[in-house]
Structure 1
Amino acid sequence: MANHSLQGKAVLIGGGAKNLGGLLSRTFAAKGAKICVHYNSAATQADADKTVAAIQADGGTAFAIQGDFTKVADVVRVFAAAKERFGGLDIAINTVGKVLKKPFVETTEEEYDSMAAINAKAAYFFIQEAGKQLNDHGKICTIVTSLLAAYTGLYSTYGGLKAPVEHFTRAASKEFGPRGISVTAVGPGPMDTPFFYGQETPEAVAYHKSASALGGLTKIEDIVPLVELLVTDGWWITGQTIFANGGYTTR
């Protein structure tokens, strides 16, 4: 098989500006990958610019580009820009997502539509475009959530609208497999980032910390090596969702 290191690989990271995406961007760049740092809106542009500057200061190659991935035209445009800049694309990782913690009977149509667009539609067309644009033996990985294996309330739209990504991953892995392209999903437990704390009460945070067998929340530093494995030496794993949550939940 071809070389499975990150050296010289062209990588597009959806939501690559901060938190898990930002750490993926910086870690992969430090190992010789060229990084397209996607960010969603003006609100995250400063984070994207900071991540690119940090990579460049270390002698790495990166650029930032804005795109609203709920719009298919933006997904297509971002992939095209990355492919043009790097002369090809090897790896596509999508960390984009949105959490809503709300009782089922209080969820509005607008909230449902927004959650569907960000968590399911954006993931579908990201995988679709990756399947069109990646080089042979490329790798696709989507960040989902360990809620897909949890028996809980209040996350009906978040867990429910990340759930389709499991099947998108299976279907794409079958269809893209003949080109040597691996397609995976990673379901972290509740992660110790601002993305998590926004909708949780102190009591809920304490519960989530106590619920993992290994103790505490999932750290982004514990997810990055798994994603790196899946898009390099772990290429033989495909069509699967891997739960990485310290024993928070399993199935």
Structure 2
Amino acid sequence: MTTPTTPGRVAIVTGGSRGIGRQSAEHLAAAGLTVVIAYANNDQEAQDTVASIQAAGGTVTAVKVDVSDEQAVETLFATAEQTYGGVDVVVHAAGIMLLKPLAEFTVEDFDRMHRVNVRGTFLVNRQAARRIRPGGAIINLSSSVVELALPTYAPYAASKGAVDALSRILAREMRGRDITVNAVAPGPTATDLFLDGKDQATIDRMAKMNPLERLGTPGDIAEVVSFLAGPGRWINGQVILVNGGAV
């Protein structure tokens, strides 16, 4: 699932085979970046994303990666460097969401979610901090639910609060290297991750939380990601709420 090497900027997008990650990968490829997609499980979705980017004239590689595995993440970055010469943009969109009232949440579910959402962010950002080239950008996917404080979201929001803290502090640790670090925090967005397990009444209610009275789309979020990866160089160390005004 590789196309020939081309010069220019290179982006790694974790969670890049579906939802916000896929749209972000497609937007970056359309902007001329070479894209390395990291995905967890679904080979067919990854192949479909690669085919879509290739059909539009983009250069792309897909790599199967568990972002909570230290060696696998290191190998992902090494693959990008060996294949395309370096890494300029890292979009960390990989994550899972498990929803239950806190009193009903199991330790196993809590640990599973934090292993992906927090440990994964730590591992991906650590490699990015070590390897990304000057002029680069690190963009983590957080969630507006940190501010919305919705029932059943407590452990998930806690994992994304960790993403916010890591992003803000890493931005300061990149001082002098011309590298920006930001987090993008979507509100309710029409992805499989969000829609799974929700009835239509819940979806309709959450769609009306913002003044625009609709769910976000993966494309809405990807536009902000693409801006931060490119012209948005004066935005740094921020958590950007992308939710149509719900917060």
TM-score scaled by structure 1? 0.93
RMSD between aligned alpha carbons?
A: 1.2
1:219 to 214, 217, 220: 217
Structure 1 CA distance for aligned equivalents of residues 55 and 203 of structure 2: 36
Is 1:180–2:178 an aligned residue pair?
Answer: yes
In 2: Cα distance, 1:26 partner to 1:243 partner: 21
Q: Which residue of 2 aligns with 1:9?
A: 9
Q: Name the SS of the counterpart of 1:177 in structure 2.
A: coil
Q: Any idea what the Cα deviations from partners look like across 1:193-245, whole Å, max 9, x if unmatched?
A: 21111132322212101111111111111111111111111111111100010
- Deviation, 1:58, is 2.5
**2 CA distance for matches of 1:214 and 1:227?**
21
Q: How far did residue 123 of structure 1 move?
A: 0.7
Instruction: Name 2:227's counterpart in structure 1.
Output: 229
Map of 1:3 onto structure 2:
none
3-state SS of paired residue (1:187): strand
Task: Report what 2:21 is aligned to.
Answer: 21
Question: Structure 1 residue 46: deviation in Å?
Answer: 0.9
Deviation at 1:19, TM superposition (A): 1.3
How many pairs align? Answer: 241
Structure 1 SS opposite 2:208: helix
Counterpart for residue 119 of structure 1: 117
Aligned AA (1:132): R
| Separation (CA, whole Å) in 2 of partners of 1:16 and 1:191 | 16
1:108 aligns with 2:106: yes
Structure 1 distance, partners of 2:234, 2:222, is 18
Distance 2:202 2:169 in 1: 35
Q: Does the 8 Å contact 1:101/1:199 carry over to 2?
A: no
Partner AA of 2:223 in structure 1: P
Instruction: Tell me which of 53, 69, 72 is aligned to 2:70.
Output: 72
The offset of 1:8, in angstroms, is 2.4
User: Which stretches in structure 2 are left out of the alignment for 5+ residues?
Assistant: 1-6
Structure 1 CA distance, aligned partners of 2:210 and 2:25?
27
**Aligned 8 A contact 1:10 1:35 in 2:** yes
State how far apart, in whole Å, the 2-side matches of 1:132 and 1:62 are. Answer: 23
Q: Residue type matched to 2:243 in 1?
A: N
Do residues 32 (structure 1) and 42 (structure 2) align? no
Cα pair 2:27 2:223 within 8 Å, conserved? no
Q: What is aligned with 2:194?
A: 196
- After TM superposition, the structure 1 = structure 2 runs for residues 38-49 of structure 1, keeping only pairs within 5 Å, are 38-41=38-41, 44-49=42-47
1:177: how far off?
Answer: 2.4
Quick check: 1:148 aligned with 2:146? Answer: yes
Q: Which amino acid aligns with 2:30?
A: A
Cα offsets for 1:14-59 (capped at 9, x unmatched): 0111111111112211221101011012xx2111111112222232
- Asked if 1 retains the 8 angstrom alpha-carbon contact of 2:13 and 2:93, the reply is yes
1:86-125 CA-partner distances (Å, limit 9, x unpaired)? 1011000011111111011111110010111111110111
Q: Report % sequence identity.
A: 30
Alpha-carbon contact 2:134-2:178 (below 8 Å) kept: yes
Kindly report structure 1 stretches of 4+ aligned residues shifted beyond 6 Å.
none
Letter paired with 1:33: L
Q: Where does structure 1 lack aligned partners over 5 or more consecutive residues?
A: 1-6
What's the CA shift for 1:130?
A: 0.4
Distance in 2 between residues matched to 1:236 and 1:52, nearest whole Å: 31
- Asked whether the equivalents of residues 142 and 185 of structure 2 are also in contact (C-alpha less than 8 Å), the reply is yes
CA distance in 1, matches of 2:141, 2:240: 10
